[in-house]
């Protein structure tokens, strides 16, 4: 009899943002197939004899193809009781969780979806940027940043993005100039504020604020993984960003 596969979202990076359900499943897993952006501390939850299988992907370098990952899920499900496919963020937000679920159903492998906190919302929040805000943003869209000029056909309806208040691009660093150019072309304000948030929710988090036009004219030093936020809400960052402990201590001293 086949085991069960759990398609689990690991959240945006901070181990404390892992859901209670995900924690319980990881603690009892026999096999964990995990992605590149998984925080190593999350893997420490696994029991000592759990088999850890790295299947990470990054631009131009895939450890395993999606077909190979599917085959591994099938193999381990047929030989182990509890198999976890651990993905960064949420498995259904550019995580190809839907494809894997369809594959498992095809082979009659029991599976369960365990949602995770998506970086599209949590990373801007940790940087002090609300993706919606009364009077500034009543709509948002989450868009893949993998689109390139070389693609003959696009899956993105670029024109529709003109009327959306806040845009969040994931996996976008290498294509940031192309994205900025497309947004200006469809009519977004060239001076519209943009934030790049590097390794959000972790101790390495850093933020670069710029504009669409400056992305095209200036050399912005930002490395992946980063979330790109476009919209007026970026300007709220200096008002909403919470104090680090040392900043709060200094503020208390000034008040006294």
Active site residues: 35, 57, 171
Structure tokens, 223: 């490395």
- Tell me if 36 sits within 8 A of 171, measured CB to CB: no
Residue 92, Cβ density class (10 Å: 0-12 exposed, 13-18 middle, ≥19 buried) = middle
**CA nearest neighbour of 120 among 225, 24, 238, 219:** 225
Torsion angle of the four alpha carbons 190, 130, 128, 36, in this order, in degrees rounded to the nearest 10: -90
Non-local (6+) Cβ contacts of 201 within 8 A are 11, 12, 13, 14, 17, 119, 122, 123, 126
């Amino acid at each position: 009899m086949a085991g069960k596969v759990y398609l689990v979202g690991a959240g945006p990076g901070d181990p404390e943002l892992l859901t209670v359900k995900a924690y319980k499943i990881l603690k009892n897993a026999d096999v964990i197939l995990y992605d590149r952006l998984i925080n190593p501390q999350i893997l420490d939850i696994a029991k000592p004899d759990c088999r850890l299988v790295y299947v990470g992907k990054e631009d131009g370098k895939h450890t395993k193809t999606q077909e190979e990952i599917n085959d591994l899920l099938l193999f381990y499900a047929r030989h182990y009781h509890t198999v976890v496919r651990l993905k960064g963020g949420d498995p259904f937000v550019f995580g190809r969780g839907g494809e894997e679920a369809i594959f498992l159903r095809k082979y009659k492998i029991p599976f369960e979806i365990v949602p995770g906190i998506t970086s599209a919302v949590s990373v801007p929040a940790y940087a002090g940027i609300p993706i919606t805000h009364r009077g500034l943003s009543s709509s948002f869209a989450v868009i893949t940043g993998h689109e390139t000029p070389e693609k003959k056909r696009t899956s993105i309806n670029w024109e529709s993005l003109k009327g959306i208040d806040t845009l969040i691009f994931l996996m976008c660093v290498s294509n940031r100039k192309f994205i900025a150019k497309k947004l200006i072309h469809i009519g977004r304000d060239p001076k519209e504020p943009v934030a790049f948030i590097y390794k959000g929710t972790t101790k390495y988090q850093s933020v670069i604020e710029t504009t669409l036009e400056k992305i095209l004219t200036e050399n912005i030093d930002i490395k992946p993984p980063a979330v790109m936020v476009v919209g007026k809400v970026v300007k709220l960052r200096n008002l909403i960003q919470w104090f680090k402990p040392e900043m709060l201590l200094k503020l208390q001293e000034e008040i006294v």
